[in-house]
Amino acid sequence: MTLVGCFVTPHPPIMVPEVGGPDLAGVDATVQSMRELRTKVAGLDPDTVVLLSPHAPLAVRKMGVSFASTYEGSLAYFRAPNVTLSAAGDETVAEAIMERAAAKNVPTTITSSYGDSVELDHGSMVPLVYLMGGLEQPCNLVVLSFSQLSCEEHVRFGEAVGEALVESTSRIVYVASSDLSHRLIPGAPAGYDPRGAEFDKQVVDTFAAGDWQGLLSIRQDLTAAAGECGYRSLAVLSGVVTAARAAGMQVRNRVLSYEGPFGVGYMVGEVEMAEASQVDQAERAQGAVR
């Protein structure tokens, strides 16, 4: 039991049918990809989901780890009060992440304490409506948050998170909640900048190629011009993947979809995880068939 999968998801409330209504067709590619992830996560049967949300409580100079005992959420703010979600916190996993971060001297803080009940932000709630929506058994949750520390510190935090997850006795799914540029078209939420599309293309291309160094090397001026809210989520994910590789896991990146119909870039992606023994068995089986 270990880290069984990593996913990149956008978080626009409009992609939830009860919110999107007739506008849901505008994000059909994203919706279909999220439905595919729902099926995939159900098949992985996780004990715990660890999710980093750009909209979780942020400490400027420290990465955040929630120790909450329970999480509750709804999309009532987005006129869908019947869309609700609840999950128990996984304090054991949260503690392991804090311990690993401390060992790496990554500045980290506890954003919610033992016994707290936390209201989920939409950056957590929207992906989880899909990813937990197909589970047959209750699944625990840990919510992380990024900071204004350097990209390198986010990668190191991701390595700490990844080390904690691959050593866990639970089956864990990791989720990087991440919207890309908010400036893709005139009238976009953060205004228009043609460099937004350039940023998104570089993110999608490097992620699809599994080129983490290329993704992390995107120019800072381009990132700033894009008006994004997910680049640091992806930086943390790169550290998680690095830790998984160091533990001997085989990884493969896959982009399920990308679109930006309303001026914000939505990428749905997966980092498939397999232990080396599983890959060897699959290769031997393929050889036997041939």
HEC profile of 11-40: CCHHHCHHHHHHHHHHHHHHHHHHHHHHHH
Amino acid at 47: D
Burial grade of 7 (CB within 10 A; 0-12, 13-18, 19 or more) = buried
Q: How far, in Å, CA of 134 to CA of 286, rounded?
A: 30
Q: Which two tokens mark 281?
A: 């068995």
Mean pLDDT of 192-218: 98
Q: What is the largest CA-CA distance in the chain?
A: 57
Q: In which band, very low, low, confident or very high, does the pLDDT at 79 lie, cut at 50, 70 and 90?
A: very high
Note down the domain range covering 197: 3-289
Is it the case that residue 13 has pLDDT exceeding 60? yes
Separation of CA 5 from chain center: 11
C-beta of residue 218 within 8 angstroms of C-beta of residue 199:
yes
Q: In which band, very low, low, confident or very high, does the pLDDT at 285 lie, cut at 50, 70 and 90?
A: very low
Query: What pLDDT shows up at residue 277?
Result: 56
Query: What pLDDT shows up at residue 275?
Result: 83
Q: How far, in Å, CA of 246 to CA of 256, rounded?
A: 26
Q: What pTM value is reported for the model?
A: 0.94
Query: What pLDDT shows up at residue 276?
Result: 63
Closest CA to 34 of 100, 127, 140, 119: 127
Residue range 94-143, pLDDT digits in tens: 999 999 999 999 999 999 999 999 999 999 999 999 999 999 999 999 99
Closest CA to 257 of 241, 268, 245, 265: 268
67 CB-near residues (< 8 Å, 6+ apart):
89, 91, 94, 95, 110, 112, 113, 114, 116
Query: What pLDDT shows up at residue 286?
Result: 52
Q: Which two tokens mark 65?
A: 């780890």
Phi, psi (degrees; rounded to nearest 5) at 250: -95, 135
**The CATH number of the domain where 57 resides is what?**
3.40.830.10
Residue range 40-78, pLDDT digits in tens: 999 999 999 999 999 999 999 999 999 999 999 999 999
Query: What pLDDT shows up at residue 165?
Result: 98
Closest CA to 254 of 24, 74, 7, 18: 7
Total domains present in the chain? 1
192 CB-near residues (< 8 Å, 6+ apart):
183, 184, 185, 186, 263
Is it the case that residue 194 has pLDDT exceeding 90? yes
Alpha carbons within 13 angstroms on the beta-carbon side of residue 125 total: 26
Residue range 224-273, pLDDT digits in tens: 999 999 999 999 999 999 999 999 999 999 999 999 999 999 999 999 99
DSSP state of 272: E
- Average pLDDT value for the chain: 95
Query: What pLDDT shows up at residue 249?
Result: 96
CA angle 196–147–30, rounded 5-degree value:
45
Q: How far, in Å, CA of 270 to CA of 200, rounded?
A: 17
